[in-house]
Structure 1
Amino acid sequence: MALLWVNLVACGSLNAAARPTIAPQTLLQQINTNTAPLVLDVRTADEFAAGHVPSAVNIPIQALDERFGELRAIAKSDPIVVYCERGVRANRAKTMLNEAEFGTILHLAGDMQQWRRNDFPVDFPK
């Protein structure tokens, strides 16, 4: 986890307000090398079904606080990358997770819109 944090700082992935983010390119590299943290998609189930970041887990923002126990069991103390379509719900989720004292919470820079713009791989539910 410390190495991830150092990489984020060294790569300039921290914004001016000191809210940790992760670049889509960095996350894709981690996914491709099986070193990615838990990726949390807080969009609706329908949005998730229309395509999501590979390996992402879907917990819609409306159900997030009710599913903290489930999320703790999955994430343990690992970092969590959170995203939505454009950032509004992800920012809210990030605040909720920080207040609930989860570990390191990172926001996927540009969210799903940027992921698609980069033409990165998208998964669909099986």
Structure 2
Amino acid sequence: MVRIDIMPWGVNPPHTHPRASEILTVLEGNIQVGFITSNPENRLITKVLQTGDVFVFPVGLIHFQHNVGTCHSVAIAALNSQNPSIIGIANALFGSKPDIPTDVLRKAFQVDKDVITQLQGKF
């Protein structure tokens, strides 16, 4: 289990747990949650949760939490594995060691090399 504190307008950025589903219970505040279904649909499922609401993130899917209120939000998350792992999407793509080749990321995101270099520099 983990306690998640999110400041007003703060974000727990997109990530995945490759070995666990997650159930999130909002203790305080309003939190927008969402996950993206798998290929080929890649559909965003999202909802704004209020105090007392519960939401499940399926195993392995990219998901996030976003405080959409002006007050501090608190949630408790439970995962159904003692070793769920966590993969931060941006960290994995732009902060890998060694770097993913710029040409691969440039083609994947359809942007200039300079954009990829700038993003890699932030991680």
What TM-score do the two structures reach when normalised by structure 1?
0.24
Which structure carries more relative contact order (alpha carbon 8 Å, separation 6+)?
2
Which structure dedicates a bigger proportion of its chain to strand? 2
